[in-house]
Every structure is written in structure tokens, then in C-alpha cells.
Amino acid sequence: MNTMLQRWLSSSVVDADTKAELIAVAENEKEIISRFGSKLTFGTAGLRGVLGAGTNRMNIYVVRHATQGLSELILKTGADAAARGVVVGHDCRIMSREFAVETCRVLTANGIKAYLFDELRPTPEVSFAIRELNCIAGINITASHNPKEYNGYKVYWEDGAQLSLEQADTVFESICADDIFDDVKVSSPEEMEANTVILGKDFDEKFLSCVLDCIIDPDAIRSQKDMAIIFTPFHGTGYRLVPEALKRAGFENVTCVPEQMVLSGEFPTVASPNPENKEGFTIAMKLANEKGADFIIGTDPDADRVGVVVRDKDGEFVALSGNQTGVLLLDYILGARKNTGNLPANAAAVKSLVSTEMATAVCEKYGVKLFNVLTGFKFIGEKIKEFEASGDHTYVFGFEESYGYLSGTYARDKDAVAASLLVAEMAAHYKQKGMTLADALNSLYEEYGYYLDKTLSVTMHGFDGAEKTKALMTRLRTVRPDGFGGIGLKEVYDLNQGAMGLPKANVIYYRLVDGSVIIVRPSGTEPKVKIYVLVREQCRACAEKKVEDLRSDFYSFAGIES
């Protein structure tokens, strides 16, 4: 019998249900290796994995273990760190409340004050709460938009942004050094309650106040207060605060998808609770047709990402990509702030390196400095912190192609609550002009050119997937191409060398002479390589052809099978 499995089955700490789950699979060698062959890796985004028993699953023992590691980092930080405390939130997923409570039990057992929300809350409110309460750290139990079988453990530091690589490594080192049972301190429920402050709905008022401060043009909202808006939280944490924010802003015709307002970690009405997928909006689109709405807003289970579906000129609903929503918001925010005299002279926007190059053209039009950062919203949070420290720039907006947006500095993670409000305000602005959001996007293409951004995911199959990935990146670093798709190469950057003013990262960046970009970035957790192809042309068909030509030629160069 596997040594670790035997340890779990014989431990007095492990509960009966967990032991029964393990006994049921004890004869399945493949299953045991999957559960105990490794442990969930703790990184800058914390933990994420499939629910179940074992060191490579999400369960109360793995959550306690991680919290013990984080507690040790906090206790090493300084004398006042424990007193400042840690705020803990959670989403609607299976076991999320239980994991949040167990987190508080370990924190308080280590002498660290805990703040626990009374029920599920959006991830950005946890980031906000850290700053508002002057906590040393924050934790949100969520697996974002992953399927229902998953849960996770997001960790933030005192600035409200996710942990640095060095901090994450320190926590993981503690996890590896500590025994999952013997070295983890756990207080009794009574002790935990005595040392935990419960945050109720009154705290939401502070968060909502900051969200409402993101409004730029209240007159546009007032003029279109009857505009039909359809909203779905996909059974998650956006269910209460998004409709409340829209209502307080002045929108009077907001209809929530009733079937998807039901809080459930089973996500019963969708195959996946991911607002990137149009299929999840099926019920919402039917409701939009009944209500005469031209757009739909959907937030993922922890309400940090937002998806938008709009009606096109033919009356059909189309899903906007994260890049399309990002540039629509960027152009609207900069234009509206300029028109209202509220655009700082030193205004700056931030996007991830792999997000659309159209943002560059938009910022150039408004004379706004655009900064590129590595993938991960914590890098946008770092830029905000840098701007505040230097005073050289004033942050106005940041986004990632992965459907994440932030327009204020009250939080340091993407916020779907404020983004939903701004999407609605933007729709009202264009409706004043007799335009839909689809019309607005087309007008941007007419002004700036047709930008098309394609994300490709290549899986390295087999037990040697990691070696295949390494070999691919080595080849790309060794052989310099002349160009791709008949377009010459202008420059290539290996971010492992800390190029482009960015931290070192396993990323290779190609820019062609026509401005097209190809970026290669291996996944840090899976045997996959992501390839981003960013192009600009005069029409959609031309852009689609260029993307395919670049993809095909790059795959041939890299030795990737189509």
C-alpha cells in the first residue's frame, strides 16, 4: 500500500468520510498515484485543483497545510503582522465555506487575527478589504471559472495584489518542510470564533462606494435609465453586488437571469461557468430577446472576470472577446474622461503583453502612456503601486485578454462588479448616439484598423510533455527566423534575459516588420504552450488570412504538428 495513503488512513486527524473515499480507490494504482504522487503546487496564484482526498487534491487538510505555510511567512514578517490580520473570503463552490472556516482555524491557532466574510463575496472585494482593513494578507477560496470539480485558494499580500514569486516560493518551501498533519496548528471552533471578526453586509457599502466612484458620465446613465440590461452571475458571487451597483448607478431596467441567480457550486445550467463561452449565455440570450435587450453581462463565479454578449447589425448575438471588451472600455474611459475634463495629464493604462496591440493605437490617440506587463493581474497591481510611489503617472485603466478589467485603485485585482457597471455606462453612452456596442466596436475598427488576436494552445502529449516543451523553447531561442507568413522579422526578445523592461519570464516575443506579433509562453502548471498571434489589417477576412498564414508558418518553423 502506498506509504502516504497508509498515513492518511491511519491518521487520527483524517475524518471518516475522507478515509472512506480513499478506501474505495485503494486498489486503483493509477488513482492513488494521481492523488498522492505529488502535491498541489503553491504558486503566485496560490492553489488550484480537483476536489478530493489526497495531497494532489483540494481538501481541508491541503488547505490547512497551505495556511500553515502562509502563517509562517506572516509571522516572519514583523511583530505587528499577526495583529493586522488576514481577511478570508470564498465563492459558491463545493466546500468553499468549509475551506474558508478551516483557513481561519489555522490562522488563529498561529496567533493571527482573522476576518471572515459572513457569506460568499467577489474576489475583488477581498482585495479591497485587505487595503481597507490594513491587513497583512488575504485569502479567497475560489477556482475562478474552472469546472465544478475544482476549487482553489487565492492568496494576496498587504497591497491587495497576489503574492510575489519569492513569497510564493517561501510558502511552498514551508509546505514541503512541514508535515501535513503533525506540523499544522488548528484551533477549536470556539477559539476560532473568539479570534475572528465577521464581516457583514455593512462592509459591502465601502466596496460599493468605490465601485460607484468609477462612474464617469452619470448624465449618460440618466438619459438611458430605461435601457434594457440582462445580467447573469453564473450561479456565483456577482448575484447581489452587480445588480445593486447597476441599480444605485441609476439603471432601472436590469433583468437578472433567474435560473442562474441560484447560488450553486454545481453550476446546473451551464457546462462550464466561464463567461468566455457563449454557450453559457443561452438562457440569457432567450431572455434578452424577450426583453428587447441589445447586450448581456455575465460574471464568473468569483466575479473577477466579465463576459459581454452583444446584438450585431443582423440582430444576432455575438460574444465579445476579452480583447474587444478591453479596447471598447479603454477607448470609452479615455474619451469620456477627456470630455469631462477628468483625464490626468500623466494618465497611464496597463495591459498584459499578450493582450491586443489595438490598445497602443487607442492610447496614442489620447496621449496616454501604455505599459505592458507580464501575464497575471498582479503585475498590473504592481504598476499601480509603482505609479503611486513615484507620482510619475496616474493609473486610469488596466486589462488582460483573459476578461479581466480594473478602472480604479481601490483593489489590486480585476473587478467584474465595476467592469459590469462601466460596460452598462458605455452602452448607455453609445445608445444616446443611436449605436449598439457592436456598432461601437465596428467604429473602432474603422478608425484604428481591424485588429485580430488569436490565442492558440498546443498540448505536449505523453509522459515527456515537459521535456517536449523545454525542447521547443530551446529551439526557438537557438534559431532566429527570417520572418513568418512572408513578413520579415523586425525584432525578437527572449524574456528569460529580462528584455523589454520586464522581469525574467519563460516567454519569447517576435515582432514583424508590419507590426504583427507572435508570443510564445509555456504554461507553468500544464504540459501546454500558449501561442498568441496579434495582427492588424483593413478587414476581417484579411486579418483572418494573415493569422492563419502566421500560425501555419510558425508551426512549421517550431516543429509543431497542425
Q: Give domain limits for the chain.
A: 38-199, 208-448, 450-558
CA gap 375, 158 in Å, rounded: 21
- Residues 531-548 have pLDDT tens digits of 999 999 999 999 999 999
Domain 208-448 in this protein, CATH class: alpha beta
Nearest-angstrom CA–CA distance, 330 and 66? 38
Per-residue pLDDT, averaged over 87-104, amounts to 98
State phi, psi for 317 to the nearest 5 degrees.
Answer: -85, 135
Task: Summarize the confidence of residues 53-61 as an average pLDDT.
Answer: 97
Give how far Cα 175 sits from Cα of 178, 237, 306, 308, Å.
5, 30, 33, 40
Q: How does residue 45 score in pLDDT terms, banded at 50, 70 and 90?
A: confident
Q: Which residues pair with 86 in a beta bridge?
A: 114, 137
On the question of pLDDT at 524 being above 70, the answer is no
For residue 164, is pLDDT > 70?
yes
Q: What is the pLDDT of residue 462?
A: 77
Q: What is the set of active-site residues?
A: 144
Average pLDDT, integer, range 309-315: 95
pTM of the full structure: 0.96
Asked if residues 351 and 326 have their Cβ atoms less than 8 Å apart, the reply is yes
Q: Which residues, in sequence order, are CB contacts of 9 under 8 Å at separation 6+?
A: 19, 22, 23, 26
List, in order, residues 6 or more apart from 94 with CB less than 8 Å away. 51, 148, 151, 265, 266
**How does residue 555 score in pLDDT terms, banded at 50, 70 and 90?**
very high
- Give backbone dihedrals phi and psi of 28, rounded to 5 degrees, phi first: -95, 95
Inform me whether the pLDDT recorded for 270 exceeds 90.
Answer: yes
pLDDT at position 1: 64
pLDDT band at 421 (very low <50, low <70, confident <90, very high): very high
Name every residue whose Cβ is closer than 8 Å to that of residue 434 and which is 6 or more positions away in sequence: none
Q: Is the pLDDT of residue 64 over 70?
A: yes
In the chain, % of residues over pLDDT 70: 99
- pLDDT band at residue 153 under the 50/70/90 scheme: very high
The 10s digit of each residue's pLDDT in 219-251 is 999 999 999 999 999 999 999 999 999 999 999
- At 111, the amino acid letter reads G
Q: What is the dihedral of CA 350, 355, 358, 363, to 10 degrees?
A: 0
Separation of alpha carbons 388 and 367, rounded Å: 20
pLDDT tens digits, 339-363: 999 999 999 999 999 999 999 999 9
CATH architecture observed for domain 38-199: 3-Layer(aba) Sandwich (3.40)
Q: Which residue pairs from 60-63 have beta carbons closer than 8 angstroms and sit at least 24 positions apart in sequence?
A: 60/95, 60/98, 60/99, 60/102, 61/13, 61/14, 61/18, 61/180, 61/181, 61/184, 62/180, 63/99, 63/102, 63/103, 63/141, 63/153
Q: Which residues touch 119 (CB under 8 Å, ≥6 apart)?
A: none
Q: Which CATH homologous superfamily contains domain 450-558?
A: Alpha-D-phosphohexomutase, C-terminal domain (3.30.310.50)
Min mean pLDDT across 73-77, 120-124, 234-238, 494-498 is at 494-498
| Cα–Cα dist 28/164, whole Å | 38
**Residue 461 banded pLDDT, cuts 50, 70, 90:** confident
- Predicted local distance difference test score (pLDDT) of residue 277: 94
- Identical fold between 38-199 and 208-448: yes
Helix/strand/coil for 362: helix
What is the overall mean pLDDT for the chain? 96
pLDDT higher than threshold 80 for residue 562: no
Average confidence (pLDDT) over 502-509: 95
Average pLDDT over residues 101-106: 98
- Pick from 251-255, 380-384, 435-439, 466-470: least confident: 466-470
pLDDT recorded at residue 525:
62
